[in-house]
Amino acid sequence: MVSEKEKMLNGDLYDAMDPQLVAERDRASELTRRYNRTAPDDDETRRRILEELFGSLGDECRVEPPFRCDYGYNVRVGENFYANFDCVVLDVCPVEIGRNCQLGPGVHVYTATHPLNAAERAAGPEYGEPVTIGDDVWVGGKAVVNPGVTIGDEAVVGSGAVVTEDVPAGVVVQGDPATVVKEIE
Segment 129-164, tens digit of pLDDT: 999 999 999 999 999 999 999 999 999 999 999 999
Q: Which amino acids are annotated catalytic? A: 114
Report the mean per-residue pLDDT for the chain: 97
Identify the bridge partners of residue 71 per DSSP, sorted by sequence position.
Answer: none
- Work out the number of other CB atoms within 10 angstroms of the CB of residue 84: 18
What is the share, in percent, of the chain residues with pLDDT greater than 90?
99
pLDDT in tens, 81-136: 999 999 999 999 999 999 999 999 999 999 999 999 999 999 999 999 999 999 99
Label the pairing between strands 82-83 and 62-63.
parallel
pLDDT confidence of residue 181: 97
CA dihedral 72→78→80→86, nearest 10 degrees, is -30
Residues in the chain: 185
Go through the domains of the chain in sequence order and give each one's CATH number.
4-183 (2.160.10.10)
